[in-house]
Chains A and B, each alone.
Chain A
């Protein structure tokens, strides 16, 4: 496998609004298996951040432990990364977010990391409404420890060596909806056209944006009997919509039939244009989305797309009422009450 990354690039690579090429958004070379879904997601992240013209160093990328948690090293090399401990990325990211509300927070995790050991932290982060993009790279196995079932493995699915999973799976999308996430999507690492806009929408969403991205593990869960293999996902993928993201109210350039497009204008003025693929899905109704998921799951479908979005989310900083200046920039004058105040406190304690 490759271990050297070329430094040369085409002289006329396209640049974004910042004058940066896609290469400026890359990281180290991946050490994942050839064909791993996670590498496609990393590519989609690079694409999305580049298209949005976000300065790469203004992203803080955090992860837990696992194959997916290794990936922040492979994108946005000029951004600070934090590969923390298993299942605990949400708390670390929350703390980082509190310290500096101006950065863009991207948390990358896996199904082992977020649906087992990390289920509690996942849930409470959703509840708190931390402004971030949370991507679970979901392959239904523990890849780094070589193939055990994860909590998102479907009931009845078969492990590589033949064991059958008898536990009920956890649907992180349903949980996220239940717990108050304001941008909830599912996608597939093999569908870049769907995934890149979803990531763009998530990065611009000023609340908890959650994407459950199925990402087949070629080493341990890509065989017949797996419900998270490339083949299985392609056969059962039912996208509810296609998402285009715009930053101003661009006029509709194509003709759409009535009811075919849903436009959601976000708090910052950007517009999410959803081209509906299923008439009975309403992306602005949380309860309907939950319902939709349950019904279609029973039909054996993997529902993908932007399942729910709240155009006016509130984030943790809004709830707490923190000052606009990032806490990590406050100086002594802003933080220390001083000797005079202390004298008053002393007087009250005598």
Chain B
């Protein structure tokens, strides 16, 4: 078996016990490679637990800049005896296994087709340190040192990262540096060179390395959110926590008073209730949750839809249904959010593809919610939200101002403007609203979830109800022109095939398209970024004989939405589905589309005679 040989193009997977301090060391490894100008895509695979269960950190090194998960492991760092067998089994033939050789391996547990690299980490640590916690922690830095020798990570880069991490804490920096060098020197002296190498490049550029939840939280700050009400749930908790950190930094007056209010509510119903009350009263408000929280919020979402109150809801989707797999990713809440609540409802959804778009769409969501006077869902998923991604740096135009939408002021009321809370004044379906307390005698009205006429007067008359419901549809039409448009990428040559995708599928999709093109299969690609769907979507489908819809759920939910909302014959949309909780890979997409595109069933019916 030929050992694998690749430069700047391989996958390293760390298998650790969670709570053992490995996360810091693994991040150091990842960032060092980035600092060498080589793009990486890293993913945490963690259990629904706090301490003691397996956790994995997968780093894909990709000089070509592929940020999706590739699938397969070239070098496994197996630090968890509990998952040894599966970790070893996952290594590609010709791959490498790095492990703690202090304890000898059981005979017969090794594959013949991989290269085994043993480093006596425990022995080295026990010799160097006496404190039990130190012995555990420094083992991790030590294997980073070993990897540095094996793969060619520049030591100066690691030293600089350690200096930054422990700035002002020399007491901690020194032993970390020492452990790193100990591992590096031992590996250089005792291990053979391997075929996987890193070579400094210039492919990272100005890009930043950040997770989607943090980016979304920052977008909420820039978007002017002042009220956040939330309930802890994996994987959205870190979004609310990041918002709090940013607010402490950017929204605190010199005297310590806060230009924000964050409530950790007693449940998701209270969370969305607080958001709606705050937005009703003119503050920009949001909550962050996942699938189970969306289920709980249904009633309030319907109230916000019908009473036309802004609300921003971040749904960091995880595998469902029910409790599902709390620490695994999925795109399974599309329909639950699009049609949330009983009765006829339709809601605005945004589909960011990476943390940069999480930032942009978060800020935009508040403008959209205020302008459209309706709930807006920002649909992240665990893959985007809880992993660090290389993405374009955040950008902001200082000339930008919040769009508060149609709000009738005291001046306008005083000047005699006709105010009807549910009165469409210009045909876009969006009425004016007033904030409570605006004017002593004008502009007050009763907000409620019941039917009412254009002047917010209670009525059960059918005609008034239908009029209102139709206006809500007009409003949704208006939304089409305001939400982010789909992005199309045309193939190198004309093709009858198209592919539609969204969210975190984007990165592996791009890689798959390149691979498919190399296979001779060309597809025009359309990345959907929001619902309601722009007319471009129907046009794109009409322009192709077969359109694949790639998504990460069992029931092809976005496909259902397209069929329903655009009136498309389902036969024209071929679902490509991956939903086992792991992020979809380019290999999967390429194989699935490749197989279907080659299948006789998809050859056009009209053939020229032989």
B393 near A346 with CB under 8 A, answer yes
A341 near B250 with CB under 8 A, answer yes
A342 near B259 with CB under 8 A, answer no
Could you say which residues of chain B place their CB within 8 Å of the CB of A317? 261
In the assembled complex, how far is the CB of residue B450 from the closest CB belonging to chain A, in whole angstroms?
A: 8
In the assembled complex, how far is the CB of residue A81 from the closest CB belonging to chain B, in whole angstroms?
A: 4
Could you say which residues of chain A place their CB within 8 Å of the CB of B300? 85, 88
A121 near B270 with CB under 8 A, answer yes
B277 near A78 with CB under 8 A, answer no
B278 near A83 with CB under 8 A, answer no
A337 near B258 with CB under 8 A, answer no
The residue on A at minimum CB distance from B257 is A323
A72 within 8 Å of B (CB atoms): yes
In the assembled complex, how far is the CB of residue B28 from the closest CB belonging to chain A, in whole angstroms?
A: 15
**Bound: A342/B206 CA distance, A:** 13
Contact pick for A99, options B226, B450, B458, CB 8 Å: B226
Could you say which residues of chain B place their CB within 8 Å of the CB of A339? 395-398
A73 within 8 Å of B (CB atoms): yes
Known A83-B446, A85-B303, A99-B285: A58·B437 in contact at CB below 8 Å: yes
B263 near A98 with CB under 8 A, answer yes
In the assembled complex, how far is the CB of residue A331 from the closest CB belonging to chain B, in whole angstroms?
A: 8
> Scoring A residues 317 to 350 as 1 if CB is less than 8 Å from chain B, else 0, what string do you get?
1001111100110101011111101100110011
The residue on A at minimum CB distance from B277 is A95
A271 within 8 Å of B (CB atoms): no
Contact pick for B209, options A92, A332, A350, CB 8 Å: A350
Could you say which residues of chain B place their CB within 8 Å of the CB of A79? 436, 444
A307 within 8 Å of B (CB atoms): no
Contact pick for B281, options A73, A84, A99, A338, CB 8 Å: A99
A57 near B270 with CB under 8 A, answer no
**Bound: A323/B261 CA distance, A:** 10
B432 within 8 Å of A (CB atoms): no
B274 near A94 with CB under 8 A, answer yes
B51 within 8 Å of A (CB atoms): no
B210 within 8 Å of A (CB atoms): yes
Known A336-B222, A337-B250, A346-B208: A92·B299 in contact at CB below 8 Å: no
B275 near A95 with CB under 8 A, answer yes
Could you say which residues of chain B place their CB within 8 Å of the CB of A202? none
**Bound: A99/B272 CA distance, A:** 14
Could you say which residues of chain A place their CB within 8 Å of the CB of B277? 62, 82, 84, 91-99
Contact pick for A321, options B257, B398, B450, CB 8 Å: B257
**Bound: A192/B257 CA distance, A:** 42
A98 near B274 with CB under 8 A, answer yes
**Bound: A350/B34 CA distance, A:** 8
Segment 454-502 of B: residues with Cβ below 8 Å from A? 458
Could you say which residues of chain B place their CB within 8 Å of the CB of A84? 273, 276-277, 303, 448-449
Could you say which residues of chain B place their CB within 8 Å of the CB of A124? 265-266, 270
B279 within 8 Å of A (CB atoms): yes
A91 near B269 with CB under 8 A, answer yes
Contact pick for B402, options A80, A82, A332, A342, CB 8 Å: A332
The residue on A at minimum CB distance from B224 is A335
Could you say which residues of chain B place their CB within 8 Å of the CB of A345? 218, 394
Contact pick for B446, options A72, A97, A320, A327, CB 8 Å: A72
A120 within 8 Å of B (CB atoms): yes
B3 within 8 Å of A (CB atoms): no
Could you say which residues of chain B place their CB within 8 Å of the CB of A196? none
In the assembled complex, how far is the CB of residue B259 from the closest CB belonging to chain A, in whole angstroms?
A: 5
Could you say which residues of chain B place their CB within 8 Å of the CB of A121? 266, 269-270, 273
**Bound: A317/B257 CA distance, A:** 10
A320 near B436 with CB under 8 A, answer no
B227 near A85 with CB under 8 A, answer no
Known A95-B285, A328-B281, A335-B251: A57·B441 in contact at CB below 8 Å: yes
B273 near A95 with CB under 8 A, answer yes
A60 within 8 Å of B (CB atoms): yes
B594 within 8 Å of A (CB atoms): no
**Bound: A248/B363 CA distance, A:** 48
The residue on A at minimum CB distance from B456 is A81
A323 near B253 with CB under 8 A, answer yes
Could you say which residues of chain B place their CB within 8 Å of the CB of A338? 396, 398
Contact pick for A322, options B257, B267, B271, B272, CB 8 Å: B257
In the assembled complex, how far is the CB of residue A167 from the closest CB belonging to chain B, in whole angstroms?
A: 24
In the assembled complex, how far is the CB of residue A55 from the closest CB belonging to chain B, in whole angstroms?
A: 6
A36 within 8 Å of B (CB atoms): no
**Bound: A60/B434 CA distance, A:** 13
**Bound: A346/B263 CA distance, A:** 28
A21 within 8 Å of B (CB atoms): no
A102 within 8 Å of B (CB atoms): yes
The residue on B at minimum CB distance from A329 is B282
Of A55, A57, A338, most buried by chain B (CB within 10 Å of CB) is: A57
A239 within 8 Å of B (CB atoms): no
**Bound: A72/B275 CA distance, A:** 22
B339 within 8 Å of A (CB atoms): no
A327 near B226 with CB under 8 A, answer yes
Segment 282-338 of B: residues with Cβ below 8 Å from A? 282-283, 285, 299-300, 303
B222 near A95 with CB under 8 A, answer no
B588 within 8 Å of A (CB atoms): no
B435 within 8 Å of A (CB atoms): yes
Could you say which residues of chain A place their CB within 8 Å of the CB of B107? none
A77 within 8 Å of B (CB atoms): yes
In the assembled complex, how far is the CB of residue B217 from the closest CB belonging to chain A, in whole angstroms?
A: 11
Could you say which residues of chain A place their CB within 8 Å of the CB of B446? 72-73, 80-83
Could you say which residues of chain A place their CB within 8 Å of the CB of B285? 95, 99
A327 near B266 with CB under 8 A, answer no
A103 within 8 Å of B (CB atoms): yes
**Bound: A56/B437 CA distance, A:** 9
Could you say which residues of chain B place their CB within 8 Å of the CB of A346? 206, 208, 393-394
A100 within 8 Å of B (CB atoms): yes
**With contacts A81-B444, A346-B394 known, what are 13 further pairs, Cβ within 8 A?**
A57-B437, A78-B441, A80-B447, A81-B448, A91-B229, A91-B269, A91-B274, A94-B270, A95-B273, A99-B278, A327-B259, A339-B398, A345-B218
A-B contacts, 16 listed (Cβ < 8 Å): A81-B445, A83-B446, A90-B273, A91-B270, A92-B277, A95-B274, A95-B278, A124-B265, A128-B263, A327-B261, A327-B278, A328-B435, A335-B402, A336-B224, A336-B400, A345-B218
6 closest A-B pairs by beta carbon, nearest first, are A95-B277, A91-B273, A328-B282, A99-B283, A80-B436, A92-B277
B positions within 8 Å CB-CB of A: 34, 204, 206-210, 218, 221-222, 224, 226-227, 229, 250-251, 253, 256-263, 265-267, 269-283, 285, 299-300, 303, 393-398, 400-402, 434-442, 444-450, 458
A positions within 8 Å CB-CB of B: 55-58, 60, 62, 72-73, 77-85, 88, 90-100, 102-103, 120-121, 124, 128, 317, 320-324, 327-328, 330, 332, 334-339, 341-342, 345-346, 349-350
